C-alpha cells in the first residue's frame, strides 16, 4: 500500500507543475479514468496480493519467478475484454519466460541434481 501511495504522489506533483488549471484536475467517466482504475486494481494490487500469497506459501525466494505474472494478466484480460485470441506462440512465450526465470533463480545444487 505504501509503494502504491508513494508512486501516486510523484505523478500528482508533476501534473501540478505541468498544468495548474482546475479543468486538468477534474475526473470524468471516460477511458482515462477506466485506465487508471484498471492499472491500480489489477496491474498493481492483484500482482502484489499474489506475490504476497506466494511468499507466505513458498518463502521469500519464490516470488522472483512471478515477474512475468503481469504479462500473463495482460494476455488473459486482453482475450476477455478485447476479444483477442490467445495463440500458441503467446502461451509458449509465457511458459519459456517462466521456465527461464525459474532456472536462473534456482540454487546451483538444485540444478546439478
- pLDDT, position 51: 78
Q: So what's the pLDDT on residue 107? A: 62
Q: What is the pLDDT along the chain (113 residues), one digit of tens a residue?
A: 677 778 778 888 888 888 878 777 777 788 878 887 887 777 777 777 887 887 788 776 566 555 666 677 777 877 888 788 888 887 887 788 777 766 666 666 555 55
Q: Output the CA–CA distances (angstroms, integers) from residue 79 to 8, 61, 82, in the order listed.
A: 28, 31, 6
Residue 63: per-residue pLDDT: 62
What's the burial of 50, exposed, middle or buried (CB within 10 Å: 0-12/13-18/19+)?
Answer: middle
C-alpha dihedral, 34 to 35 to 38 to 40, nearest 10°:
-120
pLDDT of residue 106: 61
For the chain, what are the domain ranges?
30-105
Calpha distance 53→75 (Å, rounded) = 22
Q: Residue 100: what pLDDT?
A: 74
pTM for this predicted structure: 0.38
| C-alpha distance from residue 94 to each of 28, 40, 57, 75, 107 (Å) | 36, 23, 22, 9, 22
The confidence score (pLDDT) of residue 72 equals 74
**Could you give the residue ranges of the DSSP H alpha helices within 1-113?**
2-18, 31-38, 47-58, 69-77, 88-105, 108-112
Amino acid at each position: 500500500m505504501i509503494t502504491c501511495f508513494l508512486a501516486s504522489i510523484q505523478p500528482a506533483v508533476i501534473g501540478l507543475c505541468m498544468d495548474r488549471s482546475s479543468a486538468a484536475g477534474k475526473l470524468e467517466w471516460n477511458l482515462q479514468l477506466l485506465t487508471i482504475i484498471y492499472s491500480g486494481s489489477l496491474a498493481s494490487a492483484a500482482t502484489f496480493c499474489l506475490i504476497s500469497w506466494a511468499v507466505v506459501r513458498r518463502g521469500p525466494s519464490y516470488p522472483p519467478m512471478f515477474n512475468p505474472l503481469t504479462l500473463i494478466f495482460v494476455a488473459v484480460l486482453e482475450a476477455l475484454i478485447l476479444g483477442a485470441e490467445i495463440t500458441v506462440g503467446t502461451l509458449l512465450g509465457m511458459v519459456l519466460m517462466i521456465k527461464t526465470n525459474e532456472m536462473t533463480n534456482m540454487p546451483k545444487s538444485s540444478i546439478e541434481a
